[in-house]
Structure formats: C-alpha cells, structure tokens
C-alpha cells in the first residue's frame, strides 16, 4: 500500500527530468497530471470524473482498485457512470465472450465521446496483452486514447501524461516483467475487506488457458511486503483479507528466500485485527498437507477452498495438462475433509473441451456428486487462439456442449441447494457486508465458508462480525436473525 507522499512538493517544472526509479517516477507523473486536473477545475468549475469498469476475475478487480487509487491521487472524482471525463475498462480475455462484451461497450463509448470530445478512454488488462486485439483497436477504434496491459498498470499516470502532452494514443504493452512495484496508492471498494496480491502470473500452462500468456510468469511478492500491507489494512479497519494469485499453492517458490504458502498464512494469521483470511485460487496438484494442516490449525483462515477440478475425466485432465487424475483429486478432497469436516468446497468446471465424450462428461458428473460442491462455476469451453487446445482436433459440436452444460448446471444446483443447508438452525458468525438491495431493513453478510445470509439489520452493522441464527435455507443462501453473543456459545 501507499504511504502518504506529498505530490505538491515534487519539482515538475518544464525543464525538470522525471526520476528513473519507481515508484518515484510515477509520483512525478501523478504530480504532472494533477496540474492538468487543476487547470480543468479552473476552466469547468468542477473536478474531472473517472469511471472504471472491471471485467473478469478478482485479480482484475484488485488491479482496478489500484488504478482508481492513482486516479483519485491525481484529483479525479470517481463516478458510477460511463458519461465521465476519464473511462477505463480493465479487460479480461479468459473466454471469447469477455472480449465481445468489451467491443460492445466501446461502441457505446464512441457515441459518448462524440458528445464530449475531451473525454479520455483507456483500455488495459488481459485482452490488451494480445497483439491482434491491440491491432484491431488501433485500426477500428481510433478514439481510444490509452492502451496498456497487465504488467504495467502502475504506469497509468505516466501514460496519461504522455497522451495529454503528445496528443496521440499512448500504447504501452510489456511482454513480461519481473518487476513488482510497491508503494502506490489504492482505492478500496469496501472499507472492511480487501484483496491482497501475493503473486502474479502463472506457470502452469493448462492447455485451454490463455492466462499464462497474458499474465506472464509466476512471481511472488516478498512476505514482509505482504504482511506490512495487511498491517496497514488492518489499522484502517479491514477485518477480512483475500490473498490473491492464479495459483497460490506455489507461492514463494521463486523468492530469494523461499517461503511456502502455509508459511505465509501463518505470518498473516499473526496480524492483529484481521479476523478472516481467504485465498484463491488453489491448484489441486500443488495443495500440500502442510497447507491443510495450517488451515485446520487456524482460527482465522476461512473454512472454504476454491479448488478448480475442470473435468472429472482423467483422460481429459491429461489433455488439459492439469497434472492430476480424477482419483488424485478425490483423494485430495478426502484428506481435506478428514482435517476439516465442515469445509465448504467450490470449483470451476469446463464443459466441451476438445475430444470430450459422453463418458468423459459422466465422469465429471460423478465427481460433482461424490464431492458435493457448495457451488461450481461452470464454463463452456472457449477456444483461445495461441493455446495448445485451440489446435486440437475433435472440437465438440455446439449443441452437444450446450446440452451437457445444462445437465451439469442442474446437477450442480441440486447438490449445492442440499449442501449449503448444512448449518441450518445453527448460530454462526456473519460478516455484515452490505445493505440489502431487495428488501428494506435487511443486510447481507457471509459465513466464513462464504455462504450468503440475509438478516434484519441496518447500515450500522456493515463491517462487523455478528452471531446470526440461521432460520431458513433457500438454496444458495440463508435467512437469519441476529442473536446475542450468549446464544453463540450454546451452538
Ligand atoms: N474456456 C472455458 N473456460 C476457461 N477457463 C479458463 N480458460 C477457459 C477456456 N478457454 C475457466 C477455468 C478457470 C476459470 C477461471 O476459467 O475453469 O478455472
Ligand atoms: Fe489458467 Fe491453469 Fe494457470 Fe489457472 S492454473 S490460470 S487455469 S493455466
């Protein structure tokens, strides 16, 4: 995170030179852009507005908080509306439909920009790491002002300045990086919980997945940097942290002094004020007994594991390059459950991977039934250019995939409605997260296993952990009522 740094003290005179070292170089450009903001304010009598939209995963959501932190530091006022002076899309490319959504939104933005020609439009994130995408945007969406990728989001101010100064599209895509820039501002979406990056990139190369190509090689942040960020978060009122990485189970392997993920969890556990620790995502092949032990021994690590299985067929898993079999996955689930019987397990499943037969699909259904996932994100296989699976023969016909997808979804939903009710009529701790959108007088919170609970309450509860009696299970969530601390002890 970011120590207050006085941008107004930086020398940004016309003949000044930007520092070469980070993060000081970015502070310099933030100060330059802040000057521009002041001129805008004088001219328009208001601060320029900024809007960010995140597509994709939690990593992107966290990146967007950092990008908004830089924009706020520069002097932009955040708005919920795309009709803004600065619009930034943080894109995702994991499946083709994510790309299509971005192109669709860009069409809309071009109409807004016609009405407000000084509007700045920026695109960043995973989609921008694909050369074909950048070429298409430069050719067909020429109104886009700034384009950057996943490795250099810390450079937003520098790129904005370049665009303002030179008056032409600023494009900056890095193929890969070993750089991790600390000490930049960040704007948090929730005051009481926060994502914390512990590592970037992925080395697994699952054969369907584009992530290793767009997020680069695995690199871990130093444990001391992570812990001091979490200390600062705790001091500012955060009670729950989500440790983020594509494959947290291989955390620390590339550090000068290697640390295991279980070791990191123990260090995070010792931070006072933090009550809940979550993490994602775990790759089954790297999930160690040491981690299971550390989770089971911990009072703060939530009883929830997101453990993507992707397929139940060992044959397909091999073609996916997942490096575990169906049996190994089930055996791992057995070990986890033996250590933590109340744990909630969630997963990701892909349907229609090239060559998937009905028998393979039945194996997937079998794993779903045997494990009894609390929930599963189900995806239709999407062909990503450049990945090994895109060149595989036997792509499964669309109607067959759709039929399997529907059957899988039904199975997943039936099971999850049953499994999620496991704590019915118990008193459990709930972190109150938001005022209910649908029913007045209610708040929405989460159990430590991530299940949602609605219960009567008001905004004053947001951010606190309170005991709630789980009165009724409605499939994926509970209706409950708050009780006193004494009731919790009888549970
Ligand atoms: N097609 C469909 N789903 C995919 N995922 C990753 N790549 C693809 C793809 N090409 C899914 C995986 C992963 C989740 C984040 O997205 O299930 O775990
Ligand atoms: Fe993609 Fe596999 Fe890496 Fe996950 S572990 S990001 S699915 S390559």
Instruction: Check whether 491 has a pLDDT greater than 60.
Output: no
| Alpha-helical regions (H) of 131-190 | 131-140, 156-166
Q: How far apart are CA 312 and CA 323, in angstroms?
A: 13
Q: How far is the CA of 211 from the centre of ligand 2 (A)?
A: 6
- Helix 289-297 and helix 261-269: axis angle, to 10°? 10
For ligand 2, residues with CB inside 6 Å are 202, 204-206, 209, 211-212, 246-247, 283
Give yes or no for a contact between 250 and 283, defined as CB atoms under 8 angstroms apart: yes
Q: Using omega within 30 degrees of 0 as the cis cutoff, is the peptide bond preceding 362 cis? A: no
Q: How far apart are CA 292 and CA 260, in angstroms?
A: 12
Instruction: Check whether 16 has a pLDDT greater than 90.
Output: no
Average the pLDDT over 367-393 and give the result. Answer: 96
Q: How far is the CA of 335 from the centre of ligand 1 (A)?
A: 26
Tokens of 479: 């209706």
What's the pTM value of the predicted model, to 2 decimals?
0.91
Tens of pLDDT, residues 327-369: 999 999 999 999 999 999 999 999 999 999 999 999 999 999 9
Q: How far apart are CA 52 and CA 26, in angstroms?
A: 20
From 92, 218, 219, 247, mutation site for ligand 2 pocket: most ligand atoms within 8 A of C-beta = 247
Q: How far is the CA of 354 from the centre of ligand 2 (A)?
A: 17
From 214, 320, 350, mutation site for ligand 1 pocket: most ligand atoms within 8 A of C-beta = 350
Q: How far is the CA of 283 from the centre of ligand 1 (A)?
A: 13
| Alpha-helical regions (H) of 170-210 | none
Q: What share of the chain is helix, strand, coil (3-state, %, to 5)?
A: 40, 20, 40
Atom of ligand 2 nearest to the CA of 247: 5
- pLDDT score for 340: 97
What percent of the chain shows pLDDT beyond 90? Answer: 89
Q: Using omega within 30 degrees of 0 as the cis cutoff, is the peptide bond preceding 58 cis? A: no
- pLDDT score for 183: 77
Average the pLDDT over 24-43 and give the result. Answer: 95
Q: Is 31 in the pocket of ligand 1 (CB under 6 A)?
A: no
Q: How far is the CA of 282 from the centre of ligand 2 (A)?
A: 10
Residue whose CA lies nearest to ligand 2 atom number 1: 209
Ranges 46-50, 323-327, 420-424, 445-449: which has the least confidence: 420-424
Ranges 30-39, 83-92, 339-348, 437-446: which has the least confidence: 437-446
Q: Is 149 in the pocket of ligand 1 (CB under 6 A)?
A: no
Q: Is 230 in the pocket of ligand 1 (CB under 6 A)?
A: no
């Amino acid at each position: 995170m970011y120590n207050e740094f006085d941008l107004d003290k930086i020398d940004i005179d016309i003949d000044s030179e930007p520092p070469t070292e980070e993060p000081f170089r970015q502070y310099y450009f933030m100060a330059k852009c802040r000057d521009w903001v002041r001129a805008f304010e004088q001219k328009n009598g208001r601060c320029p507005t900024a809007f960010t939209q995140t597509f994709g995963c939690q990593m992107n959501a966290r990146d967007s908080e950092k990008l908004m932190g830089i924009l706020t530091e520069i002097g932009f006022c955040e708005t919920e509306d795309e009709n803004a002076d600065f619009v930034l899309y943080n894109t995702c490319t994991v499946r083709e439909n994510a790309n299509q959504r971005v192109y669709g939104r860009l069409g809309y933005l071009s109409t807004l920009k016609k009405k407000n020609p000084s509007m700045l439009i920026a695109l960043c994130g995973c989609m921008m790491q694909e050369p074909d995408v950048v070429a298409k945007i430069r050719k067909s969406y020429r109104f886009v002002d700034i384009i950057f990728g996943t490795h250099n989001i810390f450079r937003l101010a520098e790129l904005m300045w370049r665009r303002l100064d030179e008056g032409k599209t600023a494009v900056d895509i890095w193929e890969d990086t070993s750089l991790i820039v600390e000490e930049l501002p960040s704007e948090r979406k929730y005051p009481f919980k926060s994502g914390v990056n512990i590592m970037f990139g992925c080395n697994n190369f699952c054969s369907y997945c584009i992530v290793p190509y767009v997020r680069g090689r695995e690199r871990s942040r130093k444990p001391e940097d992570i812990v001091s960020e979490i200390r600062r978060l705790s001091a500012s009122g955060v009670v729950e942290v989500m440790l983020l990485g594509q494959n947290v189970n291989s955390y620390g392997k590339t550090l000068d002094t290697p640390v295991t993920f279980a070791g990191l969890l123990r260090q995070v556990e010792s931070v006072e004020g933090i009550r809940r620790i979550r993490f994602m995502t775990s790759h089954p092949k790297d999930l160690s007994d040491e981690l299971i032990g550390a989770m089971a021994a911990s009072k703060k690590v939530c009883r929830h594991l997101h453990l993507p299985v992707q397929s139940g067929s060992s044959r397909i898993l091999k073609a996916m390059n997942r490096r575990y079999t169906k049996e190994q996955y089930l055996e791992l689930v057995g070990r986890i459950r033996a250590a933590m019987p109340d744990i909630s397990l969630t997963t990701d499943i892909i349907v229609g991977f090239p060559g998937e037969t009905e028998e393979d699909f039945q194996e997937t259904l079998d794993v779903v039934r045997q494990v009894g996932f609390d929930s599963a994100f189900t995806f239709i296989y999407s062909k990503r250019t450049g990945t090994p699976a895109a060149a595989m023969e036997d792509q499964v016909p669309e109607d067959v995939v759709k039929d399997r997808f529907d059957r899988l979804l039904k199975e997943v939903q039936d099971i999850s409605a049953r499994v999620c009710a496991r704590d019915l009529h118990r008193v459990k701790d709930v972190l109150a997260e938001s005022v209910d959108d649908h029913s007045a007088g209610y708040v929405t919170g989460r159990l430590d296993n991530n299940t949602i609970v609605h219960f009567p309450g008001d905004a004053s509860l947001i951010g606190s952990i309170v005991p709630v009696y789980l009165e009724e299970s409605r499939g994926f969530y509970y209706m409950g009522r708050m009780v006193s601390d004494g009731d919790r002890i009888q549970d």
